Amino acid sequence: MRKRAFPIFFTIATVTSSHALALTQPDGTTIPVGNGLQDMFNGRGENINALTDAATTPETFIPSCGLTFTVLQRNAGYQNSFGWYNVTGQPPTQADLHEFLLCTDGVGTTKVLDIKNDPNYLGGEIGFFEGVGNCASPGNYINIFYSQKAYNPDGNQQNPFVHLLIYNSTATPNAFYFGWEDLLSGGDNDFDDLTTFVTGITCAGGGGPCNTGNSGICADGTMQCQSGVLSCVQSNQPAAEKCDGLDNDCNAVVDDGDLCEAGKVCDKGTCVPKCNGGEFVCGQGEVCNANGLCVDIKCAAVTCESGQKCKEGNCVGPCDGVVCPHGQVCRVGVCVDPCAAITCDSGQVCVNGVCTDDCNCVKCAAGNTCQPDGRCLNDACIGISCNAGEYCDANGACQDACTGAVCPEGQICMMGQCIDDPNPGSGGSGQGGNFVGAGGNFVGAGGMEMTGGMGGLGGMGGMGGVGANAATGGNGVGSGSTCGCHVIGDEQSGKTGFLVLLASAAALAHGRRRRR
């Protein structure tokens, strides 16, 4: 017999969803045997199937405040006791077996466990045990069965025998049933030797990644405990589609629509120029592929997994190299507040994307004070009011949340947020000659073919105007190229002779018009 006092949970499908098949013991016995548990569930108005809703995990738990345990059934020949122990990674010692429900506590007994004020509690996870032995003391138990199956006397095999079944209540939020079996090798497998009903507990295991089943970036989710059940909460909302190898608008199609500037198409998450039939020569470091597109020669033969794209010959993910502003995390190429989509149960607050007990239950660390919203605040920040886009650091000073941030491609950090660059790759004016830079007749004002804006007709990006700083394109990839499908950066500068530019100007303008 056993009983369960407890707190927060660790797994997901264990307590949250029905199993497609009933559980079995190593000898093939389907559990539970008999109708003891099912009759009890029916009598309490629960929509629970004792066979298909049974779970064996989590095995360890995180204590919460004010846990209430009620004894519902005692159908064992032994008078068993129940208690808890600290999870240390090793089998618990006798000194760490703390009885909670005594062998004399009969059906209808209700007890409250305030483990966080128990001096024996080490502050981490706990497990539970059932002491079998006719009211024996911990040192004289006949057998001890643990919530961690590997420590059971019949648990020394790859598929240990089950001695505890867990059920999520369908009638009461944040409540669970625990059914114990107290005989070696499963005994009669009825799991009603000791049945307890536990209220005031929440799941552990929140904060982990999960798949919502939606398309694109909307598939990314975070496990959260809501109403006592672990569920997958969507992390990102649909956004405008852009050429980045992702399904931003969550319509199940990657990079769909007209996403690039004139003369370019979206190919594997990158806007690239065309080179139809060799009519236009690709720039340095590029090659015209079989689809008639100028691509990075290092990426021409590279095929990346879904959600990745090739850069410099390497497949990179949407969050690779991203450093989000303070207090945010990168999820599928988007910097987000990890708590933005999270709704916690009463008595809990969201911290770093995980619902935890508020500070009225869990004491704040030294140097922090519990606030009315249930969160702990650094004492140095009490009374400090920072401007938008700032945060209070450990010394009580307001800091720019954008400091050190490296936003996802195509974004800049402003006011503590990564936002789409309103002028991507404009690169300044280029300050070129008559034909180049500063919005010349056919070459853009420092715009860049690779990623930048398209000044004038050409958007070739400050094509190396005579004696100017035309080769640099600000935030763009490069400028100063004389090729209609590539911008090389500083490789071609204002040193290019004016006469050469003049001689090629008409041909370039004509060619670019045809490409668009």
Mean pLDDT, consecutive 10-residue stretches, the chain (516 aa), reads 33 36 91 96 96 86 77 87 91 93 92 84 84 85 90 84 90 86 87 87 69 90 71 87 90 90 85 72 84 87 86 91 95 89 81 83 87 94 96 96 94 95 58 35 34 36 36 36 33 36 37 37
Structural contact between residues 481 and 460, judged by C-beta atoms closer than 8 angstroms: yes
pLDDT for the residue 81: 87
Residue 168's nearest CA partner among 374, 334, 13 is: 13
Question: Is the Cα dihedral 387, 391, 397, 400 positive or negative?
Answer: negative
Q: What is the pLDDT of residue 227?
A: 59
Q: What angle do CA 116, 122, 123 make, to 5 degrees?
A: 55
Distance CA 30, CA 38 (A): 14
Q: Residue 422: count other Cβ atoms within 10 Å of its Cβ.
A: 8
pLDDT at 488: 32
SS3 (DSSP) at 121: coil
Tell me the CB-side half-sphere exposure of residue 501, using CA atoms within 13 A. 26
Whole-Å CA distances, 478 to 193, 419, 439, 488, 493 = 75, 22, 17, 5, 11
Residue 345 CB neighbour total at 10 angstroms? 16
Using the 8-state DSSP alphabet, how is residue 184 labeled? G
Q: What are phi and psi of 15, to 5 degrees?
A: -105, -5
C-alpha torsion sign, points 57, 60, 64, 66? positive
How high is the pLDDT of residue 226? 64
Q: How far apart are CA 334 and CA 248, in angstroms?
A: 10
Distance in angstroms (rounded) separating the CA atoms of residues 22 and 28 = 11
Distance of alpha carbon 355 from alpha carbon 5, whole angstroms:
20
How far, in Å, CA of 24 to CA of 15, rounded? 17
Structure-block tokens of residue 198: 């536990």
Longest distance between any two alpha carbons in the chain, whole Å: 105
- C-alpha 173/C-alpha 490 separation (Å) is 64
∠ CA 502-505-510, rounded to 5°: 160
Torsion 350-351-356-361 (CA) sign? negative
Report the distance separating Cα 61 and Cα 93, nearest Å. Answer: 18
Residue 452 contacts residue 489 (beta carbons within 8 Å): no
442 contact partners, CB below 8 Å, separation of at least 6:
435, 456, 457, 458, 460, 505, 508, 509, 512
Task: Evaluate whether 236 touches 218 at the Cβ level (below 8 Å).
Answer: yes
For the record, the structure tokens of 81 come out as 């006791």
Contact between 85 and 98 under an 8 Å Cβ cutoff? The reply is yes
Query: How is residue 451 annotated by DSSP?
Result: S
CA gap 347, 342 in Å, rounded = 14
